Amino acid sequence: QEHPCMKAEVDEPPDVKEEEEEIISKMPFTGVPLKSINDADREAPSSSSCQHMTTKGVGNPQEESKADGLLAPLSESDNTSSNTDEEEEEEEEDESEDDLTCNTDKKPWKCSHCGKMYAYKSLLELHTRTHTGEKPFTCSDCGQKFSFKRTLTAHIRTHTGEKPFSCLVCGQRFRWRGCLKKHVRTHTGEKPFACSDCGKIFSVKANLKKHVRTHTGEKPFTCLVCGQTFSWKESLKIHTNTHTGEKPFTCSDCGRKFSCKGTLTDHIRTHTGEKPFSCLVCGQVFRWRESLKRHTRTHTGEKPFACSDCGQTFSEKGTLKKHTRAHTGEKPYACLVCGQRFSCRASFKMHVRTHSGEKLLSCTVCGQRFSQKDHLMRHTSTHTAEKPFACSVCGKRFSQKGTLINHTRTHTGEKPFACVVCGKIFSQKKTLINHTRTHTGEKPYACSICGQRFSQKGDLPKHTRTHTGEKPFVCSVCGQRFSRKGTLKIHTRTHTCEKPFAC
């Protein structure tokens, strides 16, 4: 039974019929397939096939798919996700636009919008719709409108479920001719679309168009809520969900919801353990494509992300974002307990543990637990006594690279950390942080017994000993014990008779 949307197109105005017949009679070929003129399901010839055109019947879709398989075999290795029906329709229109510009010597019909030339008036009229946005073909099922009749015909299959195009290699069936073409390239590896700027090749034209925007900076998709612009429609769709809060994609394993289908696909791998992305250099496998990309740069040394302020380059976009905050002073992470702000998420998480007392990291030798990774690493070196980092000036060795960097400044006199309030400079970042509290009055360290607060971390354990009575500092001469190191130093002078302060 004929679909109602298709039936509505049977009786076309006589002038359109006459114009098409006139075009056919003037075609410079020995014969022309009617479908190359009929907008309902145009199968335009390639530039090479124009020279070998013969008159054939329309045939069934499977026969047409065979011809397509032979003419335009495809690979989804272009880092693309599966397209929606709407996107496939747009690609069908895009392909039909290319198909209409078959090589002919005379192209007297010129588009007044873009200057593109056409051999036939009817083809120009169809092309003009890409500028005017005219969509004269309407689906009777859902009311969606289309610029081309062939796109409507293809769209109807989303309602009927029909998949008339089949792959000759594996038998997989498709609703869209364009999908079949792309799929065939997964067997042949063909990538016929090349970027004129960098030479990168793609199997799908739409992916090339998206890629080109990385060179031009074009962002044609605009959020109607906040006005933010995007290079890709998918990015706009994902962004829009941040306004609506919609999360239409649900994980069947844990019930977690996602706003983007691609994010759900990535998440599912945390359940399945699948790692489909493999490094061609060392064979290491990854769960996510982005992880593979980042890893590959460890082999190539590529650093594609450059700071616009100082020119420093980075291998990861996230590292660039963190670095940029050193210029802007942005501190997006705020502690809910004391209000202290941080530019780096890792620093923020470590700080939170100072309030919660959480110690997730444990020493594999003695079992002692730590809240921060660098504290654990420093502690571990007390077991191994390993000090792989040596000062090139004095030869002193350190277990931590950061400690060596700080030490080196005692030789160079470098003080890269400046107070934004008074301008005082410091050789170590932690000294600057401590100093800043003299301006802000911040006291993030609280005694768990009496609640007294301190601005310096070292002052808290000193104070705590007034409650516990602990005296960890012992005089090596007489054995007397003290709660503070400074007090021990003063006491030691009673044995040495040292008088360091002159009148």
Q: Which two tokens stand for residue 303?
A: 């650093």
Contact 180, 63 (CB under 8 A): no
| Integer Cα distance of 377 and 367 in angstroms | 13
β-strands 417-418, 425-426: how paired? antiparallel
Residue 87 pLDDT: 52
- CA R_g for the chain: 35
Q: Which two tokens stand for residue 362?
A: 């444990």
pLDDT 10s digit of each residue in the chain, 503 long? 433 333 333 233 333 333 333 333 334 433 333 333 333 333 333 333 333 333 333 333 333 333 343 333 333 334 333 444 455 545 554 544 454 444 445 788 899 888 889 888 888 888 888 888 888 999 998 999 988 888 888 889 889 989 999 999 999 999 888 889 889 988 998 999 999 989 999 888 888 988 998 899 888 889 998 999 988 888 888 888 888 888 888 999 999 988 888 888 889 998 998 999 999 999 999 988 888 988 998 899 888 889 998 888 888 888 888 888 888 888 888 888 888 888 888 888 878 877 777 777 788 888 888 777 777 877 877 777 778 889 999 999 887 788 888 899 899 998 888 898 898 999 888 888 889 888 988 888 888 888 888 888 888 888 888 888 888 889 999 999 988 888 898 999 889 888 877 77
* This prediction's pTM: 0.35
Q: Which two tokens stand for residue 189?
A: 């590896």
Q: Where are the domains of the chain?
A: 4-190
Contact 42, 35 (CB under 8 A): yes
CA distance readout (Å), 481 to 208, 209, 218, 460, 471: 75, 76, 72, 19, 6
Q: Which two tokens stand for residue 331?
A: 């501190």
What's the first-to-final CA gap in the chain, in angstroms?
Answer: 113
Residues β-bridged to residue 258: 249
SS3 state at 232: coil
SS3 state at 445: strand
Alpha carbons within 13 angstroms on the beta-carbon side of residue 318 total 6
Amino acid at 335: C
| Integer Cα distance of 491 and 77 in angstroms | 74
Residue 271: other Cβ atoms inside 10 A: 11
The DSSP call for residue 8 is T
Residue 167 pLDDT: 93
SS3 state at 415: coil
Backbone angles phi, psi at 39, to 5 degrees: -70, -10
DSSP alpha helix (H) spans, 364-479:
373-384, 401-412, 429-440, 459-468
The DSSP call for residue 81 is P
CATH classification for the domain delimited by 4-190, as one of 1.10.760.10, 3.30.1330.30, 3.30.160.60, 3.60.15.10: 3.30.160.60
Place of tokens 């007044």: 112
